[in-house]
Structure 1
Amino acid sequence: MNLREYADRDMLAIDVANMLAGELETALLHHDTVSLAVPGGTTPGPIFDVLCAADLEWDRVHVLPTDERCVPLGNDRSNARLIAERLLVNRAAKARFLPLYEPADDPTDGLTVRGERITALRPLSVLMLGMGSDMHTASLFPGMPGLAAALDAHAPAVTIAQPETQPETRVTLTAPVLNGALSKHLVIFGPDKRAVLERAMTLPPEEAPIAAVLDGITVHWAE
C-alpha cells in the first residue's frame, strides 16, 4: 500500500484525475480497449470534473460503477446518475458506460449477462474506490449476507448485496474483480477515515471488507 497525502481536497482531485488519465493513456497504448471502474457517493465528483476533460481516446474506454443501488436512474442515490452527470461529459462523453443495474422488478434479472460483460474486461485496467466509516468498499459491507461468497477467490464477477444497514438492494463487483485490477486507488478524507483505514489493516476482510483490496493499492488522503 502506498499513501499519498495532499494539502487540500482540491489538490487531491486534480492529482488523482491526472494520475487516472495517465494510467488510462498508458493502457491504451497496449490494448484496443481499457476499463475504468469508479465509485459513487460524494467523494469522486470533483475528481470526475477534472478527469472528464482529459485528452484521451475515450471511445476506447469502458466505464463502469464499482457498485450500484437498485434505484431508478433519476434517483439522487444512483451511482449511474452521478457518473453520467459528472464523468461522462466533455471529452469523456464518448466513453462506453456499462451499468450494473437496469430497472426491473427483480435485481437478479440480467445479472448473468452483466457478469459476463465484466468478466470479458478482466483484469480491470484502472480502479478507484471509496471506503465507508464501517470499512465497507463498493457494496461489500461487514456482516452482510453473502459477504464470504463475495470475498471468495472464485466469486462471480458481480453479485447482489443486501446489507441490513442500507435501505436498498445493491449490485456490486466482487472482491476478486476489485483486487485484481491492474491499478488501484482509494480516496479518503479526514482523520476519522484515516484511522478507520489503519484499523482495517489489522482486521480480516470478513470484518473489514476494504482489507480485501489493499494489496498494492495507492491511498490518496486529504483533511
Structure 2
Amino acid sequence: MQLNQFADTAALNTDFAKRLVAILQQAINERGAAYLVVSGGKTPQALFTALSQVDLAWDKVTVLLADDRWLDDTQSDSNERLVKAVLLQNNAKAAKFISLYADTASAFDGVAQVLQRIAALPTFDAVILGMGEDGHTASLFPCSEQIQAGLAADAPAVLAVKPTTAPYERMSLSLPRLLDSRHLFLHLVGANKLAVLNKAMAEQDVPAMPIRAFLHHPVAQVAVMYTEHQG
C-alpha cells in the first residue's frame, strides 16, 4: 500500500487525472485499447469531470463500474446514471460503457446476463476503488451472505449481493476480477476515511473489512489517493 496525501481535493484530482491519463494512453499505445473501472458516490465526481475534458482517444477506452445498485439508469441512486452524467461527457462521450444492470426483477436473476458482458474482458488497466465506513469496497459488504463467495479465489467475475446494512440489491465485480488490473487505486476523502484505512491496515480479518483483501495482498500494490480536506 502506498499512501499519497494531498492538500485538498483539487490537488488530489489534478494529480490523479494525470496518472490515469498516462495509464490509459500507455494502454492505447501498447494494446490499442484501455479498460478503466470506476466507483460511484460523491467522492469521484470532480475527478470524473476533470477526466471527461482530457484530450484522449476515448473511443478506444472502455469504462465500467466496480459495482452498482440494482436500479436502471433513470434512478437517482444508480451509479450508472452518475457515470453517464458526469464522466461520459465532453471528450469522454466517445468511450464505450459496459453496464452492470439487466432488466430483471432481482440482481440474482441478472447475473448470467451481466457475466456475459464481463467474462471475456482482458486485464483492466486501472481500477478505482472506494471504501465505506465498514471497510466494504465495491459491493463486497461484510454484512452480506455473499461476502465469502465474492472474496473466493475462484469467484466468477461478477456476483449479486444483498447487503443487510445498505439499501438495494447490488451487482459487484468479485475480488479476483478487481485484482486483475495493472493499477489499483483507493480514492479517499476525509479524516474519517483515514481512520478506517488505519483500522484496515492494523488487522488481517478480511471478511470483517473486505478492503483488507487489497491492502494486504501479497502481490497487488494499491495506491491510496487521500486528502483530509474538501475544496
The TM-score, its normalising length taken from structure 1, stands at 0.96
Q: Which amino acid aligns with 1:212?
A: A
2:71 corresponds to: 71
> How far off its partner does 1:33 sit?
1.9
Name the Cα RMSD after superposition.
1.2
Paired positions, count? 223
CA distance in 1 between counterparts of 2:25 and 2:119 reads 22
Q: Deviations over 1:161-202 (max 9, x none)?
A: 100011100000000111221111111112211111111122
| Percentage identity across paired residues of the two chains | 38
> 5+ unaligned residues in a row in structure 1: which ranges?
none
Matched, 1:101 2:101: yes
Matched, 1:221 2:226: yes
> 5+ unaligned residues in a row in structure 2: which ranges?
none
Q: Which amino acid aligns with 1:122?
A: P
CA distance in 2 between counterparts of 1:74 and 1:120 reads 28
2:212 corresponds to: 211
Distance verdict in 2 for CA 1:113–1:75, change over 3 Å: closer
> How far off its partner does 1:102 sit?
2.3
Q: Which aligned pairs between 1:182-197 and structure 2 lie closer than 5 A?
A: 182-197=182-197
Q: Which aligned pairs between 1:119-158 and structure 2 lie closer than 5 A?
A: 119-158=119-158
Whether the aligned pair in 2 keeps the contact of 1:122 and 1:177 (CA below 8 Å) is no
Q: Which amino acid aligns with 2:26?
A: T
CA distance in 1 between counterparts of 2:5 and 2:28 reads 28
Distance verdict in 2 for CA 1:114–1:155, change over 3 Å: same
CA distance in 1 between counterparts of 2:143 and 2:108 reads 21
Task: Extract structure 1 runs of 4+ deviating beyond 3 A.
Answer: none
Whether the aligned pair in 1 keeps the contact of 2:72 and 2:101 (CA below 8 Å) is no
> How far off its partner does 1:108 sit?
3.3
Whether the aligned pair in 1 keeps the contact of 2:68 and 2:100 (CA below 8 Å) is yes
